[in-house]
Structure 1
Amino acid sequence: MVKKSVRNKAISSVLGTVIVLAITIALGGLLYAYSQGMFSNLTQNTNINVQAKIIVNPSTNDSYLQLTLVNNGNLGINITKVTIDSNGISIPINVYLPPGQQYSNTFPLTSKMIAGETYTVTVYGNSNNKPVVETMNVLASTV
């Protein structure tokens, strides 16, 4: 009886090490890219930047709210109202703000504001049926 020689076929240890290193580096690169926000379009987020100024005209005692909203997220936001809590002022707004867009407006205020006082301005809205609320303290200033 003649024995056949059996030949084991396998990759060399050097080639195996190179493959493992390549997979590790590729996974590390994906993790780094994800942590740096390169895949931010795969996640849904709302991010609204609010800039507000309360301007008081000392000669007429008229007050105005200058409001600028910027949608830095990747979802559209419906802005529904703005409040100035310390005076109970509520300004209804019906504005849709798509991603990357800006909205600016000046609103006359019916309550008397005092220059040098700080007021809490809150912007209310919703995105994908989830509430979006942004609050900031604003120092009233003269013209």
Structure 2
Amino acid sequence: MEKGQFDDAFETGVAGPLRDVGFKPRGKSLAFKDASITIALIRLGGRLASPGCISHVICFRHSFLRDRSESVPAAAPAEPFDYPFKFIPSEAPPSRYRPQNLRYPYDVVEWSHMGEQELSRWTAALAATITDRLCLGHVQ
């Protein structure tokens, strides 16, 4: 699979459905923020990125709490370090909270070897994990 095909499938299967329920794009990441919660699907780059793969983490915070700069952020923070709760998208949400600001878990999905149907199932599952299992009625 080519990168353009993956980007189109991600847009259709994940970004579009999340935007429909109130998520806003932040570069390659997506975030939802209201008065009480902030949820973000953050795409990781740098040393965590590999050709033909996507690395990402789902982050959660209460919107009214201060961040690392000791202020309440006006917009959803872009860095995972500003979120106390981090989840592996394929396993979210965990049954217990474990604080991990350094060496936090993240998913790596090798999309370059996926077929269209497998990619479609993966994007649908990721969107459902975020909207159905994490948002708990906060979005829409």
TM-score (norm 1): 0.28
Greater Rg, structure 1 or structure 2?
1
Q: Which has the higher contact order (CA 8 A, sep 6+)?
A: 2
Higher helix proportion (structure 1 or 2): 2
TM-score (norm 2): 0.28
Higher strand proportion (structure 1 or 2): 1
